[in-house]
């Protein structure tokens, strides 16, 4: 059956390079996979009081959407050597109320990027720290650090750097295998 993977982009900016990477992945989805962007910009800042009372109307559909996914791909820039607050907010919203972590068990891919040659390493690994706690099995290799992203695209937002395009296709292939393996291992045959 077709698997649905959600792509969460850690940038709200219209011209975001992370969004362009997301578009490339969607256009190059492996066979039997649907990749779709999930918006996080409309999620109000998380406040723990919401867990006991009424929560913002954007929370419930977001949590349901995450729960329905077969996997998650994070594409994040680095802000001040960490993940952008908007991404951390989405992670926090999805993780609560306590005991109802929507992220749990979703096979995950992490992609970081940067307009410098440091390629978002700090954001990549800060994100991984949260994924451990959220119990998201995460592809370890290949790691995906994209440097100097401003040079990878043409005026139509198309990824024209062939090396990066080939690398990202390989990454998607590895991730799809990882997802298949994960579901195979977690299948409990009926008695």
Q: What does the binding site for ligand FNR look like in residue numbers (CB under 6 A)?
A: 11, 13, 16-18, 77-81, 114-116, 118, 120
In the complex with ligand FNR, which residue's Cβ is closer, 83 or 171? Answer: 83
Q: How far is the CB of 21 from ligand FNR (least distance, A)?
A: 8
In the complex with ligand FNR, which residue's Cβ is closer, 80 or 141? Answer: 80
In the complex with ligand FNR, which residue's Cβ is closer, 22 or 69? Answer: 22
Q: How far is the CB of 111 from ligand FNR (least distance, A)?
A: 11
In the complex with ligand FNR, which residue's Cβ is closer, 3 or 23? Answer: 23
Q: How far is the CB of 108 from ligand FNR (least distance, A)?
A: 19
3-state secondary structure labels for all residues of 122-166:
HHHHHHHHHHHHCCCCECCCCCEEECCHHHCECCCCCECCHHHHH
Describe the crossing of helices 121-133 and 85-95 by its angle, rounded to 10 degrees. Answer: 10
Q: How far is the CB of 124 from ligand FNR (least distance, A)?
A: 11
In the complex with ligand FNR, which residue's Cβ is closer, 80 or 185? Answer: 80
Distance CA 31, CA 179 (A): 13
Q: How far is the CB of 146 from ligand FNR (least distance, A)?
A: 10
Q: Count of CB atoms within 10 A of residue 94's CB?
A: 26
């Amino acid at each position: 059956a077709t698997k649905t993977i959600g792509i969460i982009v850690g940038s709200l900016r219209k011209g975001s390079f992370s969004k362009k990477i997301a578009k490339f992945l969607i256009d190059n989805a492996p066979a039997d996979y649907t990749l779709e962007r999930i918006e996080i910009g409309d999620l109000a800042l998380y406040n723990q009081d919401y867990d006991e009372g009424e929560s913002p109307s954007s929370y419930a559909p977001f949590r349901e959407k995450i729960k329905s996914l077969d996997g998650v791909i994070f594409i994040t820039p680095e802000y001040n050597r960490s993940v952008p607050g908007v991404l951390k907010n989405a992670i926090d919203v999805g993780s609560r109320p306590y005991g109802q972590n929507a992220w749990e068990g979703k096979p995950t891919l992490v992609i970081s990027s940067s307009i410098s040659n440091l390629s978002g390493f700090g954001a990549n690994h800060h994100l991984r720290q949260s994924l451990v706690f959220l119990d998201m099995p995460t592809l370890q290799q290949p790691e995906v650090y994209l440097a100097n992203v401003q040079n990878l695209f043409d005026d139509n937002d198309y990824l024209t750097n062939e090396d990066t395009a080939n690398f990202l296709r390989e990454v998607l292939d590895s991730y799809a295998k990882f997802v298949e393996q994960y579901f195979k291992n977690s299948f409990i045959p009926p008695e």
